[in-house]
């Protein structure tokens, strides 16, 4: 009897377990099958395109101009008189004084009537690095100038310093807010937003406490390399408050070309003051040049809106560039320009 009971138990129990297992597998299989069936129902519409001739293909794409943006007109003729078609001859090189005086004539009350228009310098750069296959990175800088002018925007500057005296000096120099640990606590509590300030300056003494805000400041964190960290607080504030701000960005379609647009003053300023601001700007740009032969600053144009006129000037009179074509220093280059002007005057 015992033997029969065991056999019956085997016959009864084991089929039940296998049935449950089989049903679970079938459900999983059905679920996967349903998902595959749903995916099959999604129809992918393929647009049929007829035959397109080879000269019409990709015609709708934006066509990028392959013209070299580094203008080289050295091969063109020098004009013999004042009436000529510009594109067939070399650009005339003006002195800075001549360029400003020419813009003053067009901005006279009898013409544009904008005697206090801005004077803008358009500076073209050759961004090739030390290796010909590498290019300089984009950069943003502020130049300290000797002669201030109205830039049309008030830069908000925040200064961190422990000393109350230096904080007062910063406020007198034009800072929007200056202080020490009390300002750090306000920033940590969320009562003060760092995004409201264009530049953040600091004295080296407060730097250990300021490290806690490094994550919030990011690129605005004071750094001695860009002049935002130092002991001379009034000079730093004056630098960032009134300096000329400029940026150099590589062209997307020509990586060796960059254009800087910077305002150096207004037309109603003294020409010597304008020229001094231009010299400071060019020397600061020249300080970033790579260690290689050839030009870094390739061309400088002087403009003044709303006029579309642009006057080419000789930048190598102000910076120690070496001309790529003749390999002459700046003094000899200046003499060559003077000789050309004298020859034109005689003709």
Which tens digits make up the pLDDT trace of 204-237? 999 999 999 998 898 899 999 888 999 999 999 9
**Banded pLDDT at 340 (limits 50, 70, 90):** low
Greater model confidence, 27 or 34: 34
DSSP state of 199: E
Strands of the sheet with 157-160, listed across from one edge: 177-179, 157-160, 199-202
Where are the strands (E) in 199-243, listed by range?
199-202
Task: Give residue 79's pLDDT.
Answer: 87
> Which residues have a Cβ under 8 Å from the Cβ of 103 and sit 6 or more positions away?
117, 119, 267, 302, 303, 304, 307, 309, 311
Question: Considering the entire predicted model, what is its pTM?
Answer: 0.72
Mean pLDDT is lowest, of 6-10, 32-36, 44-48, 182-186, for 6-10
What's the rounded mean pLDDT across residues 32-45?
A: 67
Q: What is the pLDDT of residues 179-203, one digit of tens each?
A: 999 999 999 999 999 999 999 999 9
More confident position, 87 or 9: 87
**pLDDT at residue 44 in the model:** 65
DSSP per-residue codes, 89-153: BPPPEEPHHHHHHHHHHHTSTTTT--TT-EEEEEEEEE-B-SSTT-BPPPEEEEE--SS----SS
Determine contact, residues 253/64, Cβ cutoff 8 Å.
yes
């Amino acid at each position: 009897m015992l033997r029969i009971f065991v056999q019956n138990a085997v016959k009864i129990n084991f089929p039940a377990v296998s049935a449950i297992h089989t049903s679970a597998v079938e459900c999983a299989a059905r679920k996967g099958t349903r998902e595959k069936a749903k995916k099959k129902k999604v129809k992918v519409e393929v647009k049929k395109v007829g035959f397109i001739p080879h000269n019409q293909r990709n015609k709708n794409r934006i066509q990028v101009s392959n013209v070299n943006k580094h203008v080289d007109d050295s091969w063109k003729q020098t004009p013999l008189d004042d009436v000529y078609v510009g594109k067939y001859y070399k650009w005339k090189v003006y002195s800075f004084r001549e360029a400003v005086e020419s813009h003053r004539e067009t901005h006279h009350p009898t013409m544009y009537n904008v005697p206090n228009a801005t004077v803008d310098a358009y500076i073209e750069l050759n961004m090739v690095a030390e290796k010909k296959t590498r290019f300089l990175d984009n950069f943003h800088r502020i130049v300290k100038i000797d002669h201030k002018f109205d830039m049309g925007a008030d830069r908000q500057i925040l200064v961190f310093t422990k000393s109350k005296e230096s904080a007062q000096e910063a406020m007198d120099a034009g800072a929007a807010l200056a202080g020490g640990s009390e300002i750090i606590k306000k920033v940590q509590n969320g009562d003060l937003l760092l995004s409201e300030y264009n530049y953040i300056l600091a004295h080296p003494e407060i730097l250990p406490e300021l490290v806690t805000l490094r994550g919030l400041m990011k690129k605005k964190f004071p750094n001695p390399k860009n002049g935002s960290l130092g002991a001379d607080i009034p000079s730093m504030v004056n630098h960032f408050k009134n300096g000329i701000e400029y940026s150099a960005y590589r062209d997307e379609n020509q990586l060796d070309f960059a254009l800087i647009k910077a305002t150096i003053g207004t037309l109603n300023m003294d020409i010597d003051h304008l020229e001094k601001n231009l010299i400071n700007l060019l020397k600061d740009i020249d300080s970033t040049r790579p260690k290689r032969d050839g030009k870094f600053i390739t061309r400088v144009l002087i403009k003044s809106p709303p006029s579309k006129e642009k006057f080419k000037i000789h930048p190598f009179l102000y910076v120690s560039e070496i001309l790529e074509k003749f390999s002459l220093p700046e003094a000899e280059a200046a003499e060559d320009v003077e000789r050309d002007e004298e020859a034109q005057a005689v003709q």
